[in-house]
Amino acid sequence: MKQHFLRLTIVVVLIGMTACGPRETELSFETIEQSDYSDYSTLESHIVLVASQDDIDQMAGLIDQVALDQLAKLDFQQYFAIAVFRGLQASSGYDVIIERLVRRNDAITVYAKFWEPSPYWEVLDTETSPYHLVKVHKDGDVVSQEIELVLQSPVVTPTSPSR
């Protein structure tokens, strides 16, 4: 498999953390939904932070109703959500997978892989818009919507097996 290792970074202001030297903490998360939902027209890859009930409205039209309902039930005193969108793709076979979340002082780095279809696999000629939506435990920190988003697209393309 051919891999290009890049990373996707979301910088989040975390209120209540100490300003000691760099401290790196792996954050646990649970998938709310991972889909190739095709009803939104966002052309480019991006990330969205959902830190409160008020932020759910920005997700309408980006994710399906089941995921919206799950966000509406999320306890925002304990959790926040992050969605990574792959962007509109011309065929099936594309995906986005959040693999790790790492907090370093006032930043959260989202490590994700963007999968592209292998030229050796058959794909459907239908537009897709893959995304991965996760919930993250706050661990006592307050997450603010004052964020800076930086996106670098990691790409993984499966290759044909060796003969």
Q: Report the pLDDT value the prediction gives residue 83, as an integer from 0 to 100.
A: 92
Q: What is the pLDDT of residues 9-39, one digit of tens each?
A: 444 433 344 445 567 788 899 999 998 876 6
Model confidence at 46: pLDDT above 70? yes
Cα separation, 133 vs 1, whole angstroms: 25
Q: What is the pLDDT of residues 101-142, one digit of tens each?
A: 887 777 788 888 888 888 888 888 888 889 999 999 987 665
Q: Report the pLDDT value the prediction gives residue 112, as an integer from 0 to 100.
A: 87
Question: Span 62-69, mean pLDDT?
Answer: 90
